Amino acid sequence: MALPAISTVLIHQNSSTGTSFNVGIVDTSFSEIHYQPKTIALYNREFYGLKTNSILSLNLEISNGLYIVSDNVFCVYGDGDTEEKALDDYLLSLYDFYQMLEESAKRRKEDKAQFSFLQKYISRV
Start-to-end Cα distance in the chain: 43
Furthest C-alpha separation in the chain: 77
Give the pLDDT of residue 35: 59
Give the pLDDT of residue 72: 95
Is the separation of the CB atoms in 95 and 50 below 8 Å? yes
Give the domain ranges of the chain.
38-124
Is the separation of the CB atoms in 9 and 32 below 8 Å? no
Give the pLDDT of residue 26: 40
The rounded average pLDDT for each run of 10 residues, N- to C-terminus, in the chain (125 residues) is: 41 45 42 69 96 96 95 97 98 98 96 97 97
Q: Cα dist. 75→7, 29, 94, 119, 125 in Å? A: 38, 31, 9, 15, 23
